[in-house]
Amino acid sequence: MGVAEEASLRRRGGAADRPVPDDLHARLKVFEGQPAVTGGTGKDPVNEPMIRHWCEAMGDENPAYQGPSAIAPPTMLQAWTMGGLSGHGRPGSGRSSAYDALFALLDEAGCTSVVATDCEQEYLRPLRPGERITFDAVIESVSPRKTTKLGTGYFVTTRMDVRADGDLAGTHRFRILKYAPATVPEPPATVPEPPATTPKQPADHPPPDPARTTPKAHRPRPVINRDNAGFWAGVAERKLLIQRCTDCATLRFPWLPGCNYCGGDGWDTIEAAGHGTVFSYVVMHHPPFPAFDPPYAVALIELAEGVRMVADMVGVPPEKVRIGMPVRLEFRIVEDDLVLPVFNGSQPPGPSTGSQRPDPSTESHP
C-alpha cells in the first residue's frame, strides 16, 4: 500500500486507522550514512562580485566583507556549492546513485512532492576570494513517516562538508519533506431541492454577504525559535524590541544570534519608538491566500532607529502607499492568540492619542 492510499484510507476511517508497520521506512533507513555527493566542486571560486551582490541584497555593510582583505559572509556557505540554473547534472557535481535511488523509492511510494523545511550551518573558518570550493554530502537521516497539513511523507536530512582549498570550512545540514500531497475529499452529491415557496425578499433587501457567513481562514503563525523568541515575547507585551550588540552597540533586525558588524555574540534590546517611513513596498493582488483579502500592501519600513522590517500597512488604501510615507507602529489583534506589529500611514508619527480598535482590532503604540 502506498503512502497516498494509506493516507486516503485514514481520512475515511478505514483499516489504516490501525497502526501498521512502516515497511517503507525500513527500506529508506538503509540509505542512512550513504553518500549523497562525492567530490563535488563549486562552479566558481570564492569571488568579490558574488560577495558584493550578496551584501547589497542583504543590506549588509560589514567592512569585513569589503576591500583587499575581504572575507565572504559566513551565511554564503551554501551559495558556493549550488549548481545554478543548469542544476547538478553535470561533470563535477558528484551526485551519488544512492541519493537518486532514495528519491526514486519515495516517488514510487507516492511521495512525489518536496518542500525544504530548514537548514543548520556551522562555520569553522572564513572563506576568502580566490579559494576553490569542494564538498561532500551524506544522507544523515530519514525520519519515520510523518503526517503534516501538506501531506504524509518522510523528512530527509543531508549533511554537507564544505572545504576551501582542501581545508574544512563549514558544514551545512539541509532538511526536506518528501510527501504525498493531501487531497481534499469531494463533497457528496446532492439532489437539488425544489424551490421554496417563501415570499420573495423586497427589492431593497440585500442578499446575504458570503464573506460574513463563511468562516475566515486562520492566518499563518510565525515560526518562533530560540533566536527570535525574545522578539515575539516583546510583541505579546505590545513592545517592538530591537537587538543591540553589547560589544559595538550596533542595532540589528531581524533578530540574529550574532552581530554582523563585529561578530560579537552578546546582545541586549532597546524598544523602538514606533515611528518610521516606507522604504519600499509591494501591493499583493495574486495569487490569493486564505485569510488575506487582496489587494493589500506589505512594506519594508525603515524605523527611526535605522533598522528595517517587513510588515503590513494599514490605515490607507494600498494604492495610496508611497515610498517615504511616514508611518506609526500599531499592534493588530489578528486572532485571539495572534498579535502582529503593523504600520499605519493614515496619521503623522507621534505619541498615540489613545487605543483604537477597528475591525480587526489594532492597538496604537504608546
Structural domains in the chain (count): 2
Under a CB-based contact definition with an 8 Å cutoff, are residues 343 and 327 in contact? Answer: yes
How high is the pLDDT of residue 207?
59
> For the whole model, what pTM was predicted?
0.53
Instruction: Label residue 33 exposed, middle or buried (CB < 10 Å: 0-12, 13-18, 19+).
Output: exposed
Question: What is the Cβ-side half-sphere exposure of residue 12, based on CA atoms within 13 angstroms?
Answer: 12
Asked whether residue 147 is assigned to any structural domain, the reply reads: yes
Say yes or no: 59 and 172 in one domain: yes
Under a CB-based contact definition with an 8 Å cutoff, are residues 218 and 291 in contact? Answer: yes
How high is the pLDDT of residue 218?
86
Say yes or no: 103 and 250 in one domain: no
How high is the pLDDT of residue 84?
77
Alpha carbons 28 and 66: distance in angstroms, whole number: 46
Say yes or no: 238 and 134 in one domain: no
Please say which residue of 165, 181, 197 terminates a domain. Answer: 181
Say yes or no: 20 and 147 in one domain: yes
How high is the pLDDT of residue 343?
97
How high is the pLDDT of residue 191?
59
Asked whether residue 210 is assigned to any structural domain, the reply reads: no
Asked whether residue 357 is assigned to any structural domain, the reply reads: yes
| N residues, the chain | 366
Say yes or no: 248 and 151 in one domain: no
Say yes or no: 256 and 129 in one domain: no
Asked whether residue 121 is assigned to any structural domain, the reply reads: yes
Say yes or no: 263 and 131 in one domain: no
Please say which residue of 181, 208, 237 terminates a domain. Answer: 181
Under a CB-based contact definition with an 8 Å cutoff, are residues 137 and 95 in contact? Answer: no
The range of the structural domain enclosing residue 352 comes to 229-364
Asked whether residue 205 is assigned to any structural domain, the reply reads: no
Residue 149: which of 121, 184, 98 has the closest Cα? 184
Task: Please give the DSSP secondary-structure letter assigned to residue 115.
Answer: E
How high is the pLDDT of residue 9?
47
Asked whether residue 263 is assigned to any structural domain, the reply reads: yes
Q: What grid cell was written down for 204?
A: 431593497
Going by C-beta distance under 8 Å and a sequence separation of 6 or more, which residues neighbour residue 255?
A: 227, 228, 230, 231, 243
How high is the pLDDT of residue 257?
92
Say yes or no: 129 and 21 in one domain: yes
pLDDT tens, the chain, 366 aa long:
455 555 554 444 444 444 456 899 999 999 999 999 999 999 999 999 999 999 998 888 899 999 999 999 999 999 999 987 666 555 555 678 999 999 999 999 999 999 999 999 999 999 999 999 999 999 999 999 999 988 999 999 999 999 999 999 999 999 999 999 887 666 666 656 655 555 555 555 555 555 454 566 888 888 899 999 999 999 999 999 999 999 999 999 999 999 988 989 999 999 999 999 999 999 998 777 888 889 999 999 999 999 999 999 999 999 999 999 999 999 999 888 899 999 999 865 555 433 333 344 445 444
Say yes or no: 168 and 244 in one domain: no
Say yes or no: 166 and 248 in one domain: no
Paired sense of beta strands 338-344 and 308-314, if any? parallel
Listing DSSP states for 228-280 in one string gives THHHHHHHHTT--EEEEETTT--EESS--SS-TTT----EEEEE--SEEEEEE
Domain CATH code at residue 38? 3.10.129.10
Say yes or no: 117 and 238 in one domain: no
Asked whether residue 8 is assigned to any structural domain, the reply reads: yes
How high is the pLDDT of residue 308?
95
Please say which residue of 181, 213, 245 terminates a domain. Answer: 181
How high is the pLDDT of residue 14?
47
How high is the pLDDT of residue 146?
94
Say yes or no: 162 and 309 in one domain: no
Residue with cell 492619542: 353
Under a CB-based contact definition with an 8 Å cutoff, are residues 118 and 227 in contact? Answer: no
What Cα–Cα distance (Å) separates residue 194 from each residue in 87, 190, 198, 207, 361? 59, 12, 12, 20, 43
How high is the pLDDT of residue 239?
96
